Amino acid sequence: MSDDTPRPRLGWIDAIRLVTKRELCAYFDSPIAYIYAAVFLALSSSAFMNAFFLEAVVDMSSWFERLPYLLIVFVPAMTMRSWAEEHAQGTIEILLTLPLRSAQIVVGKYLAALAFYAMVIAGSLPIVVMLVRLGPADIGTIVAGYLGALWLGAFFLAFGQFVSSLTHNQIVAFVLAALLASLFTFSGHPQVVEIIDGLAPEWQLGSWLATSVSVLPQYESFVRGIVGLGALVYFTSMIGLFLWLTQIGLGRIRR
Amino acid sequence: MAVDDVSFSVRPNEIVGFVGPNGAGKSTMLKMLSTYLEPTSGTIRVGNANIDTDPVAVRQQIGYLPGDTPLYGDMVVMDWLRFVAGAHSLTGEALGAAVTQVVDTCGVGPVIDKRIHQCSTGFRQRVGLASALIHDPPVLLLDEPTHGFDPLQVMAFRDLLHQLKQDRAILFSTHIIADVEAVSDRVLIIDHGRLLADGTLPHLCDEAGLADPSLELLFAHLVSEIGVEGV
């Protein structure tokens, strides 16, 4: 032993950066990440191109409108291994006995997933270049759309990681996160709202779910080019809630 | 309850062997000492740090090798060691020196550029030990540290423990009685979550009225006293 002076602890930023870097390297060390990105971009872009050539409109709204439905599957596929694999492999024991706070680990893992998601979404930028070259594209609306896509993904990643922290089984994590994503998405779909409202017209449950729970109205404001305070409050509070729940879940396994 | 009413201390320059049958509570005890599990009652102190009030300070002072050596299989050994060193606030030259030191001490040089899943069980164990030692901790907690070692590696590990003992408190659990007899200054025997014995082997054998200071006989004597079958 060299000396008895306690070493200084890592600051919050350094600790989060350390975990984020490890997690991000883990994403890119696996071929699955590249397959994931390729399939996501192929599906999202092919659906857009179809609409683009049929409607001949120089904007990206149809790409952004389809995004929530794609993310119902793609984000849970990203997050399912996040904590469930740590539980299954036992590496969580090593991770939680390093001199880091559990909140730093939760945020570090989350930011790595968010960075990977942002890189995948950035893979669609050639569409923007194409639109700008083809005609007068509304750059402001496109930028707002990308901001919305980031917030939407950030929200899905937060509850995906929370669900993954509850189980050892990646398939269970995937299915539960996809169900939750479906709930948050379809509860704002006009047809679903209409059906639920029709079941008990006096309660207007469908409308309440759409305005209070669903992510769609918040996200669609970005797609229309509006960056509203209400949407920002919705996304930040929901992300904060699920990250906090993930940390609480980690505390549970210590008992 | 996995562990009940267990009280002991380990001092610097001391190697304590933690022995007990499967399910006795050895690993649970080490998990609590490492801060992974929270005890429902009682107090754990490591140095001046209390596990309830400052678990991060406890983690700074311990090097922990969990049972089955869980490691990130996809990581390269060097990256893993650098990650753990970084978590212990080591940077720059200090980090490089710490990595070089544990690579040398634990003999992981031959696998330093390999991914962990490509390492044999013995090398995985050494990598786990290297990461537990990288911050030069005053307390070492090792759960079944010789698991997966061949006889030569076991002998080398015993020598290593003697070297590491300098200014360190070392607590290790094992099923292998020969390991405990070879390296321990003191023995803790646990069963059904209760501490049955705590002391040096000759002293405990004397107390038990055994002619030979044999841990095997002492273990069988103590465990049969409380009516456990199959030992």
Mutate to test the interface with B, among A7, A22, A30, A94 (most CBs of B within 10 A): A94
pLDDT of residue B1: 62
B25: which DSSP letter?
S
pLDDT of residue B48: 86
User: Per the CB < 8 Å rule, is B31 touching A18?
Assistant: no
B86 interfaces chain A, CB cutoff of 8 Å:
yes
B35 interfaces chain A, CB cutoff of 8 Å:
yes
- Of the options 3.90.180.10, 3.40.50.10300, 3.40.50.300, 3.30.56.10, the CATH number for the domain spanning B14-70+139-225: 3.40.50.300
Residues in chain A: 255
A198 interfaces chain B, CB cutoff of 8 Å:
no
Residue ranges covered by each domain of chain B: 14-70+139-225
Residue bearing the bigger pLDDT, B231 or A166: A166
Alpha-helical (H) ranges within B25-90 are: 26-33, 55-61, 77-87
B109: which DSSP letter?
G
Give A26 to chain B, closest Cα distance, Å: 7
B198 interfaces chain A, CB cutoff of 8 Å:
no
Which chain B residues contact residue A254 at CB under 8 A?
36-38
pLDDT of residue B207: 82
pLDDT of residue B217: 80
Give A95 to chain B, closest Cα distance, Å: 9
Give B205 to chain A, closest Cα distance, Å: 33
Report yes or no: A124 and A63 within 8 Å, Cβ to Cβ: yes
B59 interfaces chain A, CB cutoff of 8 Å:
yes
A32 interfaces chain B, CB cutoff of 8 Å:
no
**Percentage of chain A exceeding pLDDT 90:** 66
Report yes or no: A223 and A144 within 8 Å, Cβ to Cβ: yes
Query: Which residues, other chains included, contact A7 with Cβ-Cβ below 8 Å and sequence gap of 6+?
Result: B60, B88, B89, B90, B135
User: Per the CB < 8 Å rule, is A18 touching B87?
Assistant: yes
Cα distances from B169 to residues A123, B112, B156, B164, B186, in angstroms, run: 53, 28, 19, 9, 11
Report yes or no: B70 and A93 within 8 Å, Cβ to Cβ: yes
Token code pair at residue B208: 């038990």
A15 interfaces chain B, CB cutoff of 8 Å:
yes
Residues in chain B: 231
The amino acid occupying position B105 is T
> Could you give the CA distance from residue B72 to residue B116 in angstroms, rounded to a whole number?
7
B90 interfaces chain A, CB cutoff of 8 Å:
yes
Q: Which residue from B56, B71, B79 is facing A9, i.e. has the nearest CB?
A: B56
pLDDT tens, chain B, 231 aa long: 677 788 999 999 999 999 988 888 899 999 999 999 988 888 999 988 999 899 999 999 999 999 888 999 999 999 999 999 999 999 999 999 999 999 999 999 999 999 999 999 889 999 999 999 999 999 999 999 988 788 888 888 899 899 898 889 999 998 888 888 889 999 999 988 888 889 888 888 888 787 777 788 888 887 766 554 433
Report the 3 state secondary structure along chain A. CCCCCCCCCCCHHHHHHHHHHHHHHHHHHCHHHHHHHHHHHHHHHHHHHHHHHHHCCCCCHHHHHHHHHHHHHHHHHHHHHHHHHHHHHCHHHHHCCCCCCHHHHHHHHHHHHHHHHHHHHHCCHHHHHHHHHHCCCCHHHHHHHHHHHHHHHHHHHHHHHHHHCCCCCHHHHHHHHHHHHHHHHHCCCHHHHHHHHHHCCCCCHHHHHHHHCCCHHHHHHHHCCCCCHHHHHHHHHHHHHHHHHHHHHHHHHCC
User: Per the CB < 8 Å rule, is B62 touching A97?
Assistant: yes
- Nearest 5 degrees, angle CA A120-CA A122-CA A128? 135
Per-residue pLDDT band for A4 (boundaries 50, 70, 90) equals low
A248 interfaces chain B, CB cutoff of 8 Å:
no
pLDDT tens per residue, range B94-122 = 999 999 999 999 999 999 999 999 999 88
pLDDT of residue B229: 43
User: Per the CB < 8 Å rule, is A30 touching B74?
Assistant: yes
Q: Which residue from B62, B64, B70 is facing A91, i.e. has the nearest CB?
A: B70
Of A166, A163, A147, A121, nearest to A236 by C-alpha is A147
Report yes or no: A99 and B49 within 8 Å, Cβ to Cβ: no
What is the ipTM score, two decimals? 0.90
Hey, which residues 61-90 in chain A have their CB within 8 Å of chain B?
Answer: 89-90
Report yes or no: A184 and A213 within 8 Å, Cβ to Cβ: yes
Token code pair at residue A56: 């001949």
B31 interfaces chain A, CB cutoff of 8 Å:
yes
pLDDT of A2 over the 50 cut: no
